[in-house]
């Protein structure tokens, strides 16, 4: 092969490689890049041009969930307002936008997602688990919103962990009190045989563990319409 022919052949390979790289990019990549940069104008233009807001990106998550995680508030506002945006586009781990907004304490986003028919009672880990796995007044407000939307208070994770157990280890004591006052069962055990009191002990929250043990010892599930015992 002459020098000229080798040069031409190399140039052809280079052009092919560049073409392949360009082909890998496209509207989906542009969409997720716009969300990461919080370029709401670009997101809105793509939606108006017919782009599906519910596609999954290369990391297996939808645009709505990504906008919540980043956070990209301007893009999130556009996506929530867009009629075709679905609230239940989950990531590869089964997390929903509502779960992500709940653990991040994004009260207004939680309200908007519930209004868009987000599933407050998805099987496995539920939004209520996530809401009480962080501390702060916004977490209690979100837990109330979920309960008002008929979230099951003793929802079980795949290993039968309940929201009360998560609150006892990771959340604020105000969230623990809210759940108990609203009817959470402190006697339940997960697959490891642990109660909410045990979860508090794992976090070295001894006074909380003692209080949970106390209410569990005297707990009786109230009959329908009967007043509940308070914290």
**Structural domain includes residue 175:** yes
Question: Does residue 189 sit within a domain?
Answer: yes
Residues 15 and 101 in one domain: no
Residue showing tokens 């697959």 = 191
b/e map 59-90, b = 16+ CB within 10 Å: eebbbbbbbbbebbebbbbbbbebeebebbbb
Cα–chain center distance at 163? 14
| Residues 206 and 150 placed together within one structural domain of the fold | yes
Q: Let me know whether 109 and 169 are in one domain.
A: yes
pLDDT of residue 224: 64
Per-residue confidence of the chain (231 residues) as pLDDT tens digits?
454 444 433 443 333 333 333 333 589 999 999 999 999 999 999 999 999 999 999 889 999 999 999 999 999 999 999 999 999 999 999 999 999 999 999 999 999 999 999 999 999 999 999 999 999 999 999 999 999 999 999 999 999 999 999 999 999 999 999 999 999 999 999 999 999 999 999 999 999 999 999 999 999 877 666 666 778
Of 67, 86, 105, the last residue of a domain is 86
Residue 118 inside a domain? The answer is yes
119 and 64 housed in the same domain: no
Q: Classify residue 91: in a domain, yes or no.
A: no
Does residue 117 sit in the same domain as residue 226? yes
**Residue-number span of the structural domain to which 71 is assigned:** 1-86
Residues 207 and 128 placed together within one structural domain of the fold: yes
Q: Please, what is the angle between helix 27-36 and helix 40-48, to 10°?
A: 150
- Whether residues 102 and 128 share a domain: the answer is yes
Task: Please indicate, yes or no, whether residues 130 and 174 belong to a single structural domain of this protein.
Answer: yes
Give the CATH number for residue 26: 1.25.40
User: Which residue, 54, 86, 118, sits at the end of a domain?
Assistant: 86
In a domain, 138, yes or no: yes
Q: What is the pLDDT of residue 226?
A: 60
Q: Are residues 201 and 103 in the same domain?
A: yes
Instruction: Specify the long-range contacts of residues 213-222, CB closer than 8 Å, at least 24 apart.
Output: 215/180, 215/186, 216/186, 216/187, 219/185, 219/186, 219/187, 221/185, 222/183
pTM (2 decimals)? 0.86
Number of independent structural domains in the chain: 2
Residue 132 lies in a domain: yes
The residue from 86, 107, 139 where one domain ends is 86
Does some domain include residue 8?
A: yes
- State how far the Cα of 145 lies from the Cα of 140, in Å rounded to an integer: 9
Same domain, 119 and 25: no
Say if residue 74 is in the same domain as residue 104: no
């Amino acid at each position: 092969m002459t020098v000229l022919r080798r040069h031409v052949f190399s140039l052809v390979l280079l052009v092919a490689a560049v073409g392949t790289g360009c082909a890998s990019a496209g509207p989906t990549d542009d969409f997720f890049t716009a969300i990461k940069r919080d370029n709401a104008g670009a997101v809105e233009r793509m939606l108006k041009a017919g782009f599906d807001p519910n596609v999954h990106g290369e990391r297996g998550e939808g645009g709505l969930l990504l906008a919540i995680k980043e956070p990209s508030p301007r893009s999130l506002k556009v996506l929530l307002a867009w009629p075709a945006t679905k609230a239940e586009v989950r990531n590869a781990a089964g997390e929903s936008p509502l779960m992500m907004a709940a653990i991040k304490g994004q009260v207004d986003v939680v309200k908007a997602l519930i209004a868009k028919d987000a599933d407050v009672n998805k099987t496995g880990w539920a939004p209520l688990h996530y809401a009480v796995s962080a501390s702060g007044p916004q977490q209690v407000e979100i837990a109330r919103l979920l309960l008002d939307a008929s979230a099951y208070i003793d929802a079980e994770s795949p290993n039968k962990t309940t929201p009360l157990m998560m609150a006892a280890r990771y959340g604020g004591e105000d969230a623990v009190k809210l759940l108990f006052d609203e009817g959470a069962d402190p006697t339940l055990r997960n697959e490891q045989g642990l109660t909410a009191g045990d979860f508090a002990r794992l976090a070295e929250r001894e006074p909380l563990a003692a209080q949970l043990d106390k209410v569990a010892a005297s707990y009786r599930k109230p009959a329908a319409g009967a007043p509940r015992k308070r914290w």
